[in-house]
Structure 1
Amino acid sequence: MTEAPSLPRARAEIDLGALRSNLRTLRAAVTPRVRIMAVLKADAYGHGAVRCARAALDAGADWLGTATPHEALALRDAGITDVPLMCWLWAPGDPWDQGIEAGLDMSVSDMWALEEAARAAKALGRAARIQLKADTGLGRNGCPPADWPELVRAALIAQARGHIEVTGLWSHLARADEPHHPSVAAQLGVFRSMLDHAERAGVRPRVRHLANSAAALTLPASHFDLVRPGIALYGLSPGPELGTSAELGLRPVMTLKASLALVKQVPAGHGVGYGHRYVTRDTTTLGLVPLGYADGVPRHASGRGPVLVGDRVRTVAGSVAMDQFTVDLGGDTPPPGTEAVLFGPGLRGEPTAQDWAAAAGTLAYEIVTRVGARVPRVAVDAADEHT
């Protein structure tokens, strides 16, 4: 994150007070003994991992989590060293040795990963902290039930040799955002069965965990020892069946805005943008917003994306280009530099990330995560109603 210039071309404001409030909302949704892992993958869903990690810890997060080892190591390099940190998406040849030295909890779903972790641990003379992942029905990473006994047996042998310590057992739900879907109960049953097998075999995990944001908010039976909120931490609803952010007590953390780079009058019948997919009906004014698909504005929202300029919501006129797009101001003549808000909490009438997701036919997750690196993230700390 960088400090914004006095008249920024564009910026994403990250409200750390909102993030802390969201973590407290999540804390209230689980029983006191259940710990919370703040998920910071993909640069904290585009919000900036280091500052979000520190804000989450300030609000009482017990663990941090990332997808890749490189994301986790970057947090350690930033000085976040006194908290358990898990990463789960490993590939052959990834830096197991660095993960061991950094004290990471590293997920293992298959024999190749267990073997690489054990080799690295043997070379270092230090046990690797390993969490075994079960595939309970999501069909992505994780060990299938048929292969689970072999993986558990091999992990216990490696642990007896001092090469690894099995610190956790975990899995991931496929349809927790549809809480009444039968797959949710089915996955819970499979997870309990796989836990039972591992524990009867001699595994003594420190944590067992299954729940993502949706399950943390709505499914107490899935909470076990730890929940792993991701998108809810950033104030977005995990799914429409669960309610809006406001209904869930969440405050969106990111606001994306820019300054109009140009305002000009054009005649009726004037084509706008590549392909002239928008043609003015009357004499009007156009406003140029200096953000495009290189900055994460989805091209699929061409002609549909909403933008607040002044006190009115406008619509993207024509195609979103790489670096810019245009809105039809309907004859209004705000000066260059006027603020254009693409999305935010919605409290001032501005669109939300969910509005952009609907316009682009995608998820709000993608809208915030795809905001590009050349858009500076600027930390703000709005009034925190809980302090």
Structure 2
Amino acid sequence: MTSFDIPEALVRAEIDEAALCDNAAVLADRLSPARLKCVVKANAYGHGIDLVAPALFSAGWREFCVATIPEALHLRSLLGPEAQILAWLYGPTTDLDEAVRADIQLGISTVDSLDRLAEAARRTGITARAHLKIDTGLGRNGLAPEALVRAFDWLRRHAEERRTADTDHGDLATAPDTAADIRIVGIMSHFAVADEPERPETAAQSAVFSSAHGQLRAVLDAADGRLGESDDLDVHIA
């Protein structure tokens, strides 16, 4: 057997920041009137998040997505407070307090996550912003139909608790247990074959997502703004 010295890197990638930002601008133009979110998970898909994210931020982009909370916290340290940052993957024992303190918006894929995020908001004294992540058929992560029903039930109960607290305290802003709470600011999902819009799976997932969006709007409207505003929902599918 013969041994060989292996160099540290057999391949080197050179990233052109200007070309990257130009590509983002082209995508945004084609997507309009929808907004472009810059997904930079997994070290910006191997391009280097420390290079890619600041370049896109300097070019004017403000909405960023990563998978995990550690990624989101690192991104916050890179971009500062102006960036809107979303993360959607975390475990049942992950500490959510640090994410809330850093103004990281979190995806909600389980009913338990609603409880935990509301508790984190109360502990930190900071309103937590959340996106309901809907499993429309990919089966990888998100609220499947039965879980979504339970999530809506949770939101209705929570809104009623807040309504009662408002009555007891007279003013939502001064109610000690509800001033810092959870707000639903978005709804999201993932298509299985988004690059093939003619596939029947895409149409089926779109129908499920549209139904969930309509139901969420109704829940928020019935809550009279206590859980978020239906007209301000950030609606996005990857």
- Taking the TM superposition and a 5 Å limit, the aligned residue runs for 1:173-192 are 173-192=191-210
Aligned to 2:185: 167
Kept in 2, the 8 Å contact 1:35–1:61? The answer is no
Q: Tell me, in whole angstroms, the C-alpha distance in 2 between the residues paired with 1:158 and 1:41.
A: 32
Task: Write the letter of the residue equivalent to 1:30.
Answer: L
Q: Could you say what secondary structure the match of 1:78 adopts?
A: helix
Instruction: Give the match for residue 19 of structure 2.
Output: 18
Counterpart of 1:67 in 2: which secondary structure?
strand
* Distance change (3 Å), C-alpha of 1:9 and 1:195: closer
Q: CA deviation at 1:51?
A: 1.9
Q: Distance in 2 between matches of 1:125 and 1:119?
A: 10
Secondary structure of the corresponding residue to residue 211 of structure 2: helix
Output the CA distance in 1 between the equivalents of 2:10 and 2:233.
Answer: 48
TM-score of the pair, normalised by structure 1: 0.50
Matches within 5 A, 1:240-259: none
Residue 226 of structure 2 is aligned to residue 208 of structure 1: no
Structure 2 counterpart of 1:101: 101
Structure label with greater radius of gyration: 1
Greater strand share, 1 or 2? 1
CA positional deviation for 1:158? 4.1
CA contact (8 A) 1:68 1:87 kept: yes
Deviation at 1:41, TM superposition (A): 0.2
Instruction: Report if the CA contact (8 A) 2:54-2:79 is conserved.
Output: no
Structure with the bigger percentage of helix = 2
State the match for 1:27 in structure 2.
Answer: 28
* Matched-pair identity in %: 35
The gaps in structure 2 that reach 5 residues or longer are: 1-8, 163-177, 221-227
C-alpha distance 56-157 of structure 1, shift in aligned 2 (>3 A): farther
The number of equivalent residue pairs is: 203
Equivalents in 1 of 2:135, 2:42: separation in Å?
22
Deviation of residue 79 (structure 1)?
4.2
Report deviation, 1:115: 1.5
Q: Given that residues 24 and 59 in structure 1 are in contact (C-alpha distance below 8 angstroms), is that contact kept between their aligned partners in structure 2?
A: no
Contact 1:23 1:59 in 2 (8 A): no
**Partner Cα separation in structure 2 for residue 166 and residue 157 of structure 1:** 14
CA shift in 2, pair 1:79/1:186, >3 Å: closer
Letter in 1 for 2:153: R
Question: Which residue type is aligned with residue 107 of structure 1?
Answer: G
Mapped to 2, the partners of 1:156 and 1:58 lie a distance apart of: 41
**1:30-109 residue pairs with structure 2 within 5 A?**
30-32=31-33, 34-109=34-109
Q: Specify which of 190, 196, 199 is matched with residue 217 of structure 2.
A: 199
- 1:133 aligns to 2:133 (yes or no): yes
